Structure 1
């Protein structure tokens, strides 16, 4: 009798382990599995999109590329206004961070950090100032906003026609070094402004655009 009892218990346990899974449970499991696959798919796609966007945002124009984008216009404007194209391009590189600053991009196109307004158009942005001793500080300033690259370069040339910048013109100087020296303390408060401009002109051979 004891052996028979054990046999019956064994048969019941066996039938339980092999009992068919209810249909509702199968459907639930399939739905959960499908949702997991879809979630993984969209999550992967979203990550790829984010990485692509981040990669696009980190792309910046190199200095040679920026020079190529502005050089010919600068050469023509400088020639027509008795200025050094090399100095103009160097200032654009320095002031706009190779055309990557917010001020230099559309819709402002202000490559030279010129303050004030242009035909009533302006934008207010933070900027660094030099107190004359080499110490810098940040202020919010109003800058001119232009409709195109040409307007920006031409307005810069017009600004340099004033008496304050007589020493910047080609007809009043014997070299671009004299022009950059004349810009220091007048156009910019940076006490080493000419040194920075001269370095850019020499490093990238910008004097070829003065011909």
Structure 2
């Protein structure tokens, strides 16, 4: 099992890290440097995997996003959706930060549902997330992003707290270009979705380059 898999199967990473370090110390005191080295490498793998995960939501973090985006070829198809929770400050102010944290965790789970195998979700910062969708065509990228928006809007949030409602706005960039360029375009489109009234997805039409905002 890889260190990253260990992090996502319910085993607390800090315990695994401490265990490998302790075993490495034990073997080192016995002069068994080969086994000590092996466990130190496992400890380093766990620490590295943990450094790429957001500690609250367990999704990937900004560091992972920044590492992955430059690796996508500028000549290939890449979609990047930037997601922002609508009026999240009012959720924290009304219900408290503990509930706000639970909302962020639930949103992260809902965003990761139904992603293609090579796609991933990363917490961009605060209440913003990024969905990175390599190799998908424009139509499927729009469908995936809007399905995530609808899934969150329809989620029974009142089960967490009576009266609670959560929606997201999404800016979706798709086409040929560097990952950083797509992220920048997605950020601009996210503001278009916000200006259009929130709980919407904004993207550029392939033929006219017109910005389209969509919701139910």
TM-score with structure 1 setting the length: 0.28
Q: Larger % of helix: which?
A: 1
- The structure having more radius of gyration, on CA atoms, is 1
Higher strand share: 2
